[in-house]
Every structure is written in C-alpha cells, then in structure tokens.
Structure 1
C-alpha cells in the first residue's frame, strides 16, 4: 500500500476513533439555556396565573394589562449524561452555558430529591410573594405555627403531619415556632407530651376561604425520644405559615425554584391596585423575595435576560446582586433596572409607565459606576 494511502487511512481511522470517543465519553457537565417567560398578569394554559377573590382587582375587564413576565432557565436533568461533543457545542453557543454538573445538582442528589427541592422552593416563594405584596400595600397578614416537616421513624411520624397547625403543647398556647421545642424539651425522654393541633386538611380548607383556622382541634399524645444530645424530642420541625385576609392563588405548573418571587409579588400588587403599573410596557424580571420584600440573587441571569429579550421585553428588573454579571452581556434593546426591594421595583415601574426612564437605576459591569 502506498505510503500516502496508508497515512490517509490512518488519519481517517483516527478521526473516526475521536468522533466515537466524543460521542461515547461522558463528561460531568450540565447545560443551561433560556427558558420560556410567563406574564404574571395574564393567562397560562387557559387560566389566569394570579387568581384573587374576596378583594377588588384591577384592571377591569377589557382594559390593557401590559406585561410583568417571570423568566425561567432550561437545564438538563440530574440524570442526563452529557458527552464531549455536546459540551463543546454548549461552550460555543452564545445563548447557552455549560457548567459543572455538581453546580446544579449536589453529589448524591437523586432526580426525585431535586424535583422535590425545586417544588418546595417554588411553593415557599409564592407564599413570600403574597406576604411581600400585601406588605407593600399595607394590608395586614397574620401568621401561625405549623408542622413544617416530620422526621421519618421518630415518635411524631404518623401522628403529626406537615401543615398541621400547632395551637398548644401540654395546654400552653404556642405564640411562636420556637415555643414548640422549648415546651417539648421540658420533658425527659420517654415522657409523654400532648399536642393540640388543627389537622392540615382542615386548616387548608379554612384558609382557602380567607379565614383563620379555629375549629377542628385534636389533642395528640406523643411519647418523646432521646436526641443525640440527651434532649427530649418528638421528631418535627416547627415553622411559620401565613394567614392571608383573602384567597390568592398562583396557578403555574412545571416551574420550580424560588426566582419568580419578585414578579409574582409585583403581579399581585398590580392586580390589587387601580390603574396599570406598567403603562402597557413589556417588563420582565427575576429575583427571590422574602416576606419583608427584600429581593435576592438568582442563578442563570444571562439566560434569563436573553429569554426576556427574545420574548419582547423592553425592561428587565434585575436583583442588585446580579447586576454586574447581567451587565457584562446585556442583550441589545433590553434595559436592565437594578432593584433591591419590592419598593424599588414599584418605583421603577412608575417611571417606566410614565415614560420618565432617564432616572432608572441601571446595572453596570463590575468596576464601573
């Protein structure tokens, strides 16, 4: 065989081997890309995203609503195995980001655990969004102590359930979540403690009507166990649940994580406020939110700004902690607006609505003012 032919054949075989390796060799990476956006003032899957009853809502039927769009990021699943070619393609794609797999999914976390964590964060963000929105409007929100979680195979397992409202322990009224542990640990391990609770289903049915749970109380005796430090425990985590003065439902499936909190809160404020907060403008944004209305940072900011731009957004409400990263590569035609609280966001929306956008707080890359 001529040397030239042999060399060509060897090169071809090596190329085929490299191609096979690129397809077959798994790499420990995951990919993030822009996801869909959803207008919190509009409909999704043929029903309103925000459903409020027992209180006047705006705008009235037939009036324009504008856009307050929450943004999302698509990510490869925890069980998805990326190959070398896919990783290179992701690195070359301007509108995608390839990150270490453990950045999105901690080692040892199953797909079910990841889904559960995302669902819990999403649910909590909705509750905080409601509280923050009503706080912005100076509408009082109550609270109550509930069973946040029950530890499997501990004394309370099967007797108490997540969502049960804890009214008293050993006949002593519970005024704060911390009271529960204080009262339980007064016992010695092996002694009985008595919980007075309103079952979760009863409480949920009452709250859905915008009322504070009162009836349906049960007394449940639980024999305490010994913790590692010698204290008496029953195996629950107590938490705080909000009591809203009227029903507010957020109808949005197939979304997880806490980053839609700010936009849910603003949507609720807009719905409960006469007029139109956006002035018909297309505003998108992101950010976690706590009960007090503080806006926190999120992941995948560059993917969310691209997704917002691609869907028509003109302005993007950006958590101040994400501003520097977002400003490094701002999509053309999109104005980044820096916000630290829900109050900041409401003020910015007033400027956007009026067309007076010169004074909007903007995002700048790190090292620039």
Structure 2
C-alpha cells in the first residue's frame, strides 16, 4: 500500500477529502438597515435640495471699496476716483462704500440648501424674491437699471461735492432711455436735455411730470429739448403711465455741466447706494487737508442733487461687510436707523446722517476724535 505524503508548503499536493460548505452571507442587522435607508434618503434630499430652485433672494455682506484708493484687481493702479481740470491732493485713510451680494434674482437662482444656510447665518437675510426684484424684469433689464442708477448716483455725487467746494455746476433734466412702449420714440432721443414741456420750464423731473398732466394720456404736448447743442421743438404723443397719469414713456435723470472731468470706476457694482461715499471721496480729493486724518470710515446712502442722504437696502449686510473689511466707523442714513439698531457688529461705531453737510461734519469729528456730539441711531 502506497503512502501519500503531503509536502509542507505545497497546498496543491492533495485536495481535501471533504470540501468545506459554501459560506452564506450574514443577514443585515436592524441597525444596518436603518443606516442604509437613512443614507439613501439623505442622498436623495441632497440631490433634490441642490436641483430644486426656491423663490427666495439671499442678501449677504459684499466687499468694500475705498473711494480714496485704487480699483481692486487693476494691475495698472487705476484710481477709483480720478479728476482732471482741478487741483487734487493725496488723501489719507479710507472712505469706503459698502456692497451687498444678492442671490436669487433672474439668472442667479438659489436652492433649498442655500436658503437653509442663510437662515443659520445671522449676517444674511432671506426674503421673498418678489420683494427684491421686479417679477416681470429680466436679468438684462435689472442689470441695465442698476447701471443707470449707478451712473446717476455718480453724477449727483460729483455735483454735490463740487458745489460744496464753491464750484459752479449747471443742472439739466435728460432722457436716459426711451421705453419700448413709448409713443415718443420718433420725436425724442436718449441724451436729449428737456428745456420745457408745454409752457413749463423743466427744472426737475417732478416739474416735467407735473407739466404733462396738462393733457390727457394719448394727446400730444409740445416739448423743447437740446440735442447735440441745438434746440429742437416737437409735438410729442403721450401715453398712460402709473395710476393713469400722463407720461412720455421715458426714463429721466439729472445731467450736469461740470467745471472738471470726474471719473468714478466702481467696476460691476450697480445701484444708487454708494452716492454718499462717492461725494465724500470727490470732496476729499479736492481739499488740501485729509478729511479722515487716516481713519478707516465706511458708509452707505443715496445722494440727491440737493445733498440729501436717502435710505438704502441691506444695511445689516453693509455694516457686517464694513467691519469685516477693517472699518471702525460707519455712516448710515438716518432713515435706516430702525434696521441699524440691534444689528451693529462689535467694534463698529455707527453715525446717522441725513445730508452731505452732516456726513462731512461726522467724518471731521471722527478724524479729530471728537464724536460725542455726532448723531447716532
């Protein structure tokens, strides 16, 4: 009888006499089942939350820009405010305008997770999108309106600053855009300066609107304009505007004759809310002494032709952005005080102003360290 000898290390020398039974997979425990169900449910919620857009707008703090400095990101060191035709001076410190980042409008939809995160973050606000944007306006239309408002705020800021320095500035009422449904398209042009409407001299946009009420919507009215330096008189068809009032179907803004060329490079920022800080920046660059004395002052507010400072949106986000940008002082429109109270970031002093003259006094007080008499919210 032969002896079969198995050599050590040679597992293939002889097969086992009785093969081991096949191993059956162990059943999932209750805990594993719950984990897997939860995992796939969470994955589904994550996918849906990122795909489903919701009708909200999110307002977040945006960057600040120093009107006394250079345009951020420009390699050639372009000044944010440049002036030709009048002596300018080096300005110390910062006079920064603040911005708000808004998501949720046309072209920038938000999803459920964006909204959830914004609700958690105290520096952000969530609003119904229709409260922030015209529901009928397109992305292009909103951008166009913001650009028009920004241009207007820069012009008015320049006028206010130059007048405060004793310079002569002549004001005109100009057509900036003719609306698609306007019947005046064949008679008027963008850039026309309105001299009179009917028998009324055009001194303000309100004077133009008031003069139009002398005729019924659809009737013609005589309008005199200056176009490329020449006087043009035309019988212009009117249309029905808001609340059935007679209108021309045009957008108006103030236009000026300045004694100097002032260029403000604000990048892609739109809207009118930087007007106050533009005016302070132009004023500081045209005065020999530093308005801030090296202090870091930020602020916001619209500016009107008469120097009045108006309220803006997103004041909470703008204060947060100013503090994140290093500012210790902030100028806020007085009409925004109800929103300022309770939302001021630690380390930021806020002063309430309602005119350019008051804002100038506030910055001078900050510069000298005498702020006890300045207005606050």
TM range (shorter): 0.7 to 0.9
Q: 151-160 vs 97-106, which deviates more?
A: 151-160
The one of 267, 275, 289 equivalent to 2:303 is: 289
Distance in structure 2 (CA, Å) of the matches to 1:361 and 1:148: 37
Hey, what does 2:160 align to over in structure 1? 132
Distance in structure 1 (CA, Å) of the matches to 2:240 and 2:313: 37
Distance in structure 2 (CA, Å) of the matches to 1:236 and 1:325: 34
Question: Does structure 1 residue 113 correspond to structure 2 residue 141?
Answer: yes
Distance in structure 1 (CA, Å) of the matches to 2:300 and 2:365: 19
Deviations 1:4-26 (A, max 9, x none): 25444444443333333323332
- Offset, 1:120: 1.3
Alignment of 1:29-48 (within 5 A): 29-44=56-71, 45=74, 46-48=77-79
The one of 93, 96, 99 equivalent to 2:124 is: 96
Hey, what does 1:217 align to over in structure 2? 230
Q: Secondary structure at the match of 1:43?
A: coil
Asked if structure 2 preserves the Cα contact closer than 8 Å seen for 1:196 and 1:220, the reply is yes
Q: 299-308 vs 86-95, which deviates more?
A: 86-95
Distance in structure 2 (CA, Å) of the matches to 1:180 and 1:333: 46
| Greater radius of gyration (CA) | 2
Hey, what does 1:274 align to over in structure 2? 288
Q: Secondary structure at the match of 1:257?
A: coil
Q: 245-254 vs 221-230, which deviates more?
A: 221-230
Q: Secondary structure at the match of 1:325?
A: helix
Asked if structure 1 preserves the Cα contact closer than 8 Å seen for 2:217 and 2:247, the reply is no
Q: 4-13 vs 73-82, which deviates more?
A: 4-13
* Structure 2: stretches of 5+ with no match in the other structure: 1-26
The one of 66, 69, 81 equivalent to 1:50 is: 81
Alignment of 1:102-181 (within 5 A): 102-152=130-180, 154-167=182-195, 174=201, 176=203, 178=207
The one of 339, 344, 352 equivalent to 1:325 is: 339
Q: TM-score, normalised by structure 1?
A: 0.79
Distance in structure 1 (CA, Å) of the matches to 2:246 and 2:96: 48
Q: 324-333 vs 216-225, which deviates more?
A: 216-225
- Offset, 1:337: 1.4
The one of 271, 281, 301 equivalent to 1:257 is: 271
Asked if structure 2 preserves the Cα contact closer than 8 Å seen for 1:31 and 1:96, the reply is yes
* Structure 1: stretches of 5+ with no match in the other structure: 203-215, 364-369
Asked if structure 2 preserves the Cα contact closer than 8 Å seen for 1:262 and 1:286, the reply is yes
Q: 1:9 to 1:221 in 2, by over 3 A?
A: closer
- Offset, 1:219: 4.1
RMSD (Å), alpha carbons: 3.4
- Offset, 1:123: 1.3
